[in-house]
């Protein structure tokens, strides 16, 4: 399934799922998963809309499964239900949805509904990170994988790997500077070579020359 930025497709998703609903900017903001996990906004779902989403998810639609997981995890349908969120994120993630893979990684990293497990978080972030092109979940997965390498959670502490994943998530990623503080110029060149090789293997355009 093609990747997508959650924020950008939220209004389109509502039109398909709930043609009578108004997709306001506030509702869109509540749908976007970020690394800070800001969830102060909520969206008022109708029971009919939830039923339609559940029906599509039960039929195996990975996107609907991912959105259903978001609904349970963020409390769109009432009280938050982490076990249900985990179940639907996992079903979607196992079908290759990058946003669900990233979300599943976050649940393991933060211990939401599961025993905290950084190694499993790294595993799911890595799966999300491998998707090209990136419309959301992949870039977030790369950034969070970099953070795990930066701190040595679930993976060996490795500043070169951290720098590589941060640079793959976005050249403007402010986390690059934190990794760079622990690296020599030679280390940085190595990290950039690794990032370039990764891009070549995954068919990504090369936008930065190796020094």
Residue 25 lies in a domain: yes
The pLDDT score that the predictor gives to residue 40 is 37
pTM of the model: 0.78
How far apart, in whole angstroms, are the C-alpha atoms of residue 135 and residue 115?
A: 29
What does DSSP assign to residue 21?
A: S
Domain that holds residue 64: 6-123
Transcribe 105-173 into DSSP letters: HHHHHHTSSS---HHHHHHHHHHHHT-SS-SSHHHHHHHHHHHHHHHTSSS---HHHHHHHHHHH-TT-
Residue 135 lies in a domain: no
pLDDT digit of tens for each residue in the chain (211 aa)? 333 334 333 333 443 343 333 332 233 223 333 433 433 344 567 888 889 999 999 999 999 999 999 999 999 999 999 999 999 999 999 999 999 999 999 999 999 999 999 999 999 999 999 999 887 899 999 999 999 999 999 999 999 999 999 999 987 899 999 999 999 999 999 999 999 999 999 988 776 544 4
Residues 63 and 100 sit within 8 Å (Cβ to Cβ): no
Residue 24 lies in a domain: yes
The pLDDT score that the predictor gives to residue 62 is 96
The pLDDT score that the predictor gives to residue 37 is 43
Residue 29 lies in a domain: yes
How far apart, in whole angstroms, are the C-alpha atoms of residue 69 and residue 64?
A: 8
How far apart, in whole angstroms, are the C-alpha atoms of residue 74 and residue 72?
A: 6
The pLDDT score that the predictor gives to residue 207 is 67
Residue 65 lies in a domain: yes
Residue 37 lies in a domain: yes
């Amino acid at each position: 399934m093609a990747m997508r930025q959650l924020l950008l497709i939220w209004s389109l998703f509502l039109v398909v799922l709930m043609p009578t609903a108004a997709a306001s900017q506030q509702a869109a903001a509540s749908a976007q998963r970020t690394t800070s996990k800001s969830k102060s906004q909520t969206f008022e779902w109708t029971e009919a809309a939830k039923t339609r989403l559940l029906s599509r998810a039960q039929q195996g639609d990975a996107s609907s499964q991912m959105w259903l997981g978001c609904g349970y995890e963020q409390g769109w349908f009432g009280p938050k239900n982490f076990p249900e969120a985990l179940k639907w994120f996992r079903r979607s993630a196992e079908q290759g949805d990058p946003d669900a893979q990233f979300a599943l990684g976050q649940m393991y990293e933060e211990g939401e509904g599961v025993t905290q497990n950084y190694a499993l978080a790294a595993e799911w972030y890595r799966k999300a990170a491998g998707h090209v092109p990136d419309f959301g979940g992949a870039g977030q997965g790369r950034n969070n994988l970099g953070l795990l390498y930066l701190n040595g959670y679930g993976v060996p502490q490795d500043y070169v790997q951290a720098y590589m994943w941060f640079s793959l998530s976005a050249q403007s990623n402010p986390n690059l500077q934190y990794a760079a503080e622990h690296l020599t110029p030679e280390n940085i060149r190595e990290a950039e070579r690794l990032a370039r090789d990764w891009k070549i293997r995954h068919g990504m355009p090369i936008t930065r020359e190796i020094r």
